[in-house]
């Protein structure tokens, strides 16, 4: 017994070797996805409000171009952020808390793609609702662990 204690003492490593991560890893947050979805909706609304103008109205075209670019980026960002939480944070036992998880995530991917392709404000609203639900379930799963 005391021999063992002595041995353990003698064997204790001299130093720590870090298998580490400088960024705050292990911290998962659906907030970025929610912001992304909100941005997509905002851009869709701006596009709808832009109305029609002459084909050679450069200022009008520039605005439209910017709205579309931001909408595409943020829809993709939503997919990215959701995928990370789904793939790296959620584990099979979490299905007990949220049985429809995989279908719901699949749905987010599809709606986000629809948002990239089109300019339908309803798609953006659906995306926002789905991402908010995702965030709520994330909180529930985190609380259940």
Partner 1 sequence: MSRRPSRLLRASAGVLVFGAVAVLASTPLLRRRRLTVEVAGDSMLPALEAGDWLLVARRPPPLDASAFGRVVVTRDRTGRLLVKRVVGLPGEVVQIEDGRVRIDGRPLDEPYVRGETEAAPYRALTLLDSDSYYLLGDHRPASTDSRDLGGVRRDAIEGTVVARYWPRGRVSRLRPPARRFLEA
- Residue appearing with tokens 């948002």: 115
Show the CA angle centred on residue 105, arms to residues 98 and 108, nearest 5°.
Answer: 135
Tokens representing 92 are: 């099979």
Work out whether 143 is an interface residue with partner 1 (CB under 8 A). Answer: no
Work out whether 11 is an interface residue with partner 1 (CB under 8 A). Answer: yes
Work out whether 23 is an interface residue with partner 1 (CB under 8 A). Answer: yes
Which of 107, 105, 114 minimizes the C-alpha distance to 138?
A: 105
Minimum Å distance from CB 42 to partner 1? 25
Tokens representing 110 are: 């599809």
Q: Per-residue contact track with partner 1, 37 to 76, x per CB under 8 A?
A: ----------------------------------------
- Count of residues that interact with partner 1, criterion CB under 8 A: 23
Among 2, 5, 14, 103, binds partner 1 (CB under 8 A): 14
How far, in Å, CA of 83 to CA of 133, rounded?
15
Question: Do residues 41 and 121 make contact, with C-beta atoms less than 8 angstroms apart?
Answer: yes
Local structure of 57: helix, strand or coil: coil
Work out whether 7 is an interface residue with partner 1 (CB under 8 A). Answer: yes
Minimum Å distance from CB 27 to partner 1? 10
Residues of the shown chain interacting with partner 1 in the complex, contacts defined by CB under 8 A:
3-4, 7-8, 10-23, 25-26, 84, 87-88
């Amino acid at each position: 017994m005391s021999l063992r204690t002595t041995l353990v003492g003698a064997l204790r490593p001299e130093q720590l070797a870090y298998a580490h991560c400088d960024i705050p890893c292990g911290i998962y947050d659906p907030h970025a996805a929610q912001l992304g979805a909100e941005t997509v909706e905002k851009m869709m609304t701006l596009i709808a409000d832009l109305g029609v103008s002459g084909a050679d109205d450069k200022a009008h075209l520039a605005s439209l171009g910017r709205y579309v670019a931001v909408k595409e980026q943020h829809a993709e960002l939503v997919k990215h952020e959701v995928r990370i939480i789904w793939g790296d944070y959620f584990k099979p036992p979490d299905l007990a808390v949220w049985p429809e998880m995989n279908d719901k995530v699949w749905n987010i991917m599809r709606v986000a793609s629809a948002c990239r392709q089109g300019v339908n404000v309803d798609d953006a609203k659906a995306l926002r609702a789905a991402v908010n639900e995702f965030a709520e379930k994330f909180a529930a799963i985190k609380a259940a662990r």
